[in-house]
Amino acid sequence: MHEFHYVAGKLFCEGVSIESLVRKHGTPLYVYSQRTLASHFSKLDAALAPLDHLICYSVKANSNIAVLRALASLGSGFDVVSEGELRRVVAAGGPPKICAFAGVGKTEPEIEFALRRGIYSFNVESEPELERINRVAGRLKKAAPVAVRVNPNVDAGTHAKITTGTYETKFGIAFEQVEDVYARASELKNLRLRGLQMHIGSQLTGVKPFELAVRKVVPLVGMLAARYQLEFFSIGGGLGIVYQPALASGGADWWQKPQAKNILTPAKYAATLVPLLRPLKLRILIEPGRFIAGNAGILVTRVEYVKRTGRKNFVIVDAAMNDLIRPAFYDSYHEIVPLTRRNGPLITSDVVGPVCESGDYFAKNRPLPKVGEGECLALMSAGAYGSVMASNYNTRALASEVLVHGNKSAVVRQRQKLRDIWKDEKLPAWLK
């Protein structure tokens, strides 16, 4: 479900027209819907109600502190992968004691910071990392809560760049080795074995890979939990969302629309997984990012030029791959709609940004309504892995971000000032 819809032909986010936001804040502009974030969180929370569970929102999907605050106020925990993300959670008022720290490359200062803050668990990805955490914890005279990330070697059937649960990837510890690793970890004095974790990939649109992985890992968790008094099992994130068509199917009952019939809903996810997980009698963590934030945000961009080359119709917009890299990086689909709905003929177009690379596109050969210079388009489903993956490539400023709540809106990230892009750069003495 999401709260972007046309009202009398104009695109709105909740009770606020996108045109009014563009007039106030310019473009490119990220717009987030707080009600959508909250409803995604609540749907998942309700579906998992039969379990003792904790949702740890995956901060990497959208780490704006207003988004984190909105989720913290609903009782969300957080999945973080760096000191920076943990500091953001703290800045947003989120409690470290329900934060899990993941990632294959945690540095000593990061481990120390997380220990001092009192996080819930480190999700550990290798034996050298276990030893390092043990060492740092010893120095600080603390017991470090840890969970080993098991790699179940199950193919998530998603894009290769976001598949994480097979032995081809750098993630986790191979299923067959996990028992021995717990045995060795139990001898490290400054560790507290608290749980077991897995995450097989992102944007999974069916429940089957989750089911396979959970079925495979549950007996192992059961055995380790009994042996080491583990308290939790984290099944990771990865719930996919509807990218196509995000808007046409918008509305309270989007998953009942025929085009979205096969989408993975929280109810389907829970119906399959809850019966497998419940007998464990453990606390179940999940780490959704995209499911919560993906359809809660759009990127609004202005048409600068329409260029017809004889072969193609290029709609050149003022957002670029530096603002939203997903199409360039994963060939991913984002629905593109005008801010004013229209019915005329569709023109097959490429929607491209101004960056000097032919990979800088948002859509290729896409039937789109006729648009002209100065009109705005919305790139849908840009709330997750959008602004967080932005860069200053081509010395382009990071876009503004606005959060909408009912009829209210507020800037939650100011447009970056151009001079701030190079403010940390210095001339060496010999060039002055």
- CB nearer to ligand LLP: give 12 or 41: 41
Applying CB under 6 A, which of residues 27, 33, 36, 58 lies at the interface with ligand LLP? 58
Q: Could you give the 3-state DSSP secondary structure of residue 173?
A: strand
Q: Could you give the 3-state DSSP secondary structure of residue 411?
A: strand
Closest CA to 237 of 317, 316, 164, 309: 164
Site for ligand LLP in 282-341 (CB under 6 A): 287-291, 326, 330
Q: Is 238 in the site for ligand LLP (CB under 6 A)?
A: yes
Q: Count residues contacting ligand LLP (CB under 6 A)?
A: 22
Q: Is 383 in the site for ligand LLP (CB under 6 A)?
A: no
Measured distance CA(102)–CA(122) in Å, rounded: 6
- CB nearer to ligand LLP: give 149 or 366: 149
Note if 356 is an active site residue.
yes
Sign of CA dihedral 268, 405, 368, 400: negative
Measured distance CA(160)–CA(192) in Å, rounded: 34
Residue 164 CB, shortest distance to ligand LLP, in Å, is 6
Site for ligand LLP in 77-136 (CB under 6 A): 79, 102
Q: Could you give the 3-state DSSP secondary structure of residue 323?
A: coil
Residue 327 CB, shortest distance to ligand LLP, in Å, is 10
Burial code (b: 16+ CB inside 10 Å, e: under 16) for 112-142 equals bbbbebebbbbbbbbeebbebbbebbeeeee
The vertex-250 CA angle with 248 and 256, nearest 5°, equals 95
Tell me the sheet residues that pair with 403: 32, 410
Applying CB under 6 A, which of residues 236, 266, 297, 383 lies at the interface with ligand LLP? 236
Q: Could you give the 3-state DSSP secondary structure of residue 276?
A: helix
Residue 352 CB, shortest distance to ligand LLP, in Å, is 19
Q: Is 61 in the site for ligand LLP (CB under 6 A)?
A: yes
Q: Is 202 in the site for ligand LLP (CB under 6 A)?
A: yes
Q: Is 199 in the site for ligand LLP (CB under 6 A)?
A: yes
Applying CB under 6 A, which of residues 385, 396, 399, 404 lies at the interface with ligand LLP? 385
Stretch that binds ligand LLP, among 15-23, 87-95, 232-240, 373-381 (CB under 6 A): 232-240
Which candidate in 13, 56, 99, 356 is catalytic?
356
* Residue 382 and residue 30 in contact, taking contact as beta carbons nearer than 8 Å: yes
Catalytic residue positions, numbered: 356
Binding site for ligand LLP (CB under 6 A): 58, 61, 79, 102, 162, 164, 199, 202-203, 236-239, 287-291, 326, 330, 384-385
